[in-house]
Amino acid sequence: MEYTVDDLVDGLSYSHLLRMQFDLNHGALHLKKLVDARIRMLEAANRKVCAACGNDIDSENASAYTVVFGPSDFRKKATCCGMDCFEEFIVKLKQYEGIKTTLAKQDVIATNIGTK
């Protein structure tokens, strides 16, 4: 549900209206900060960045690729701006999984050596 400025003003108490009037009469710095912070938050929530190269991805970009991966209880989502970045991401993911597997095996071997 979207609210209008009229709805916002109608919902304010008398004391809040007086504070807003004071702020508006003195340059509206507080109101400006509130609005700027809310806009930054909304833009950050809708912003997509390529997982491989870090470039911003337009929501209208038809050539963007998205992959969902990870265990079912902790899914991760990565978006890439093109096929080349998507391939690079997959290669890096395979390398990471290989390193993670190697470290896990080394940890098991170290644990077994320590218990003997």
- pLDDT tens digits, residue range 6-34? 888 888 899 988 888 898 898 888 888 88
**Final residue before a domain boundary, out of 14, 30, 46:** 46
Q: Domains in the chain: how many in total?
A: 2
One domain, residues 28 and 85: no
The structure's pTM equals: 0.48
Contact predicate 89/65, CB 8 Å: no
The CA distances from residue 67 to 26, 62, 103, in Å, are: 50, 15, 25
Residues 63 and 28 reside in one and the same domain: no
Domain extent for 68 = 48-116
| Closest alpha carbon to 82 in 45, 111, 55 | 55
Phi, psi of 93 (to 5 degrees): -65, -45
Same domain, 27 and 67: no
pLDDT tens digits for 65-93? 888 888 888 888 888 888 899 899 889 88
Q: Are residues 103 and 62 in the same domain?
A: yes
